[in-house]
Structure formats: C-alpha cells, structure tokens
Amino acid sequence: MCGRFAVTLPDDAMARLFAARPANDLPPVPNYNVCPTMPVHAVSLGEGGRHLGAMRWGFVPHWYDTPDDGPLLINARAETIAEKPAFRSACRNRRCLIPAAGFYEWSRGADGTKLPWFVRAADGAPLVFAGVWQVWERGDQRIASCAIVTTESSPDVAHIHHRMPVIVAPEHWGFWLGEEGRGAARLMHPAPEGAVTAHRVSRAVNSNRAQGPELIEPLEDGE
C-alpha cells in the first residue's frame, strides 16, 4: 500500500516537468509527510491539455452522502481496479499522475515495533504514481479526490512490504493520462528491479504531525 509520501519539488518545476498548466490553489511544498485526506498535487487531462491541480487524497465515490460516509479509499489495487464499483469508471476515464520525492513504508522489528523506511527513485528523480480521480458534489460542496494505484512490490521493496505504488515512467505518462491511445492497463506492474532504493528513517515519521527534511534522511549507523 501507500499511506504516506513526501513532495519537495516546487510548483513551477512540477508544471515544467509535466508540461502542465498549474492551478492557483496548489498545496504548500515542501511537505515531508503527506497524509491521507490532505490535498496533493495531481496531473490530469482537461480542456486545453494537462492540468496540475490539487486533489484530496482519499477517493470519494459518487454515492457517498458526505466525504466521510464510508471507508477512506487512499489506494486502489491494480488487480481489481477495473471491476471495483468505486474505481472502474475512473480507471477507464479519469486517470492522473501524482508526483512525489518518495514514499514511506513500514516493516516490523523483532519486538513488533514499526520501523519506517523511505523509498525513492534510485536515480534521484521524482517518483510519479499512477492515480485515479473524480469529482464528488453535493449541493454547493465540490471535491476533486484521488487514489494511488498499487501493485505487488518489486524486489527492492518486498522485504519491507508486499505492496507498493504503481510508478509511471516518463515515456508512459501520456498513455496513463489517455493522451496516446489505449495501453494504460499494461502499466500497472511493479517497478523494474533497481528502479527504486529504500533506506531506514527516523521513527519520528510515525507521527502524522511530524514535518521537516530530517524525516527522509537515512538513519545514522547505530540508531
């Protein structure tokens, strides 16, 4: 799964990276501890091409009476996304790209302690997650929300957790967004071995209130 991540790239750099038109209400960056229900940066297709906008992380199905009317859907499993009622329409018609510096995952120590890791691209580039999105409306309330698509972990992450986000390579961004025809389903697979690397980080990130660049720094030997 993916339950926390970090975003460090400035808004203008993100807009250039994706050749997208940025919105005026983008979330503050950097954010070293992005948590569910927070607004996140997401690239989607709209009138005039690619848009970089803010979406609530936590997909809100159209049948929810309120945004919190059911389970918090932060992830969508690649294996079942096309059949699940919450996601199947979005999987066909409303896919997005969610940029990150990396994501956190937790293993368990011998005593059951949660041990956090930070997973990033091996080449230092931003990670770009596959996402799905939709707009939920009730009366004058309107929320654009998204979920991150997950798949089985690559060998680089499997020793920490059995699930990870689907990472979309730059040459496939157009396919995922639907600009270049069909083929998005073929992208929902683990990252190639060696594409990402993971290191242990401070347990400070176990708190969803923690912030600061030290959250993604490798632990010193002996910590």
> Helix, strand or coil for residue 140?
coil
Q: Which of 88, 25, 89 has its CA nearest to residue 51?
A: 25
- Report pLDDT digits (tens) over 4-50: 999 999 999 999 999 999 999 999 999 999 999 999 999 999 989 99
Judge whether 50 and 18 are in contact, CB under 8 Å.
Answer: yes
Q: pTM for the whole thing? A: 0.96
Catalytic residue numbers, as ranges:
2, 105
Segment 148-184, tens digit of pLDDT: 999 999 999 999 999 999 999 999 999 999 998 778 9
**Alpha-carbon span 214 to 182, nearest angstrom:** 41
Q: Which domains does the chain carry? A: 4-216 (3.90.1680.10)
How far is Cα 123 from Cα 195, in angstroms, rounded to an integer?
8
Mean pLDDT of the chain: 95
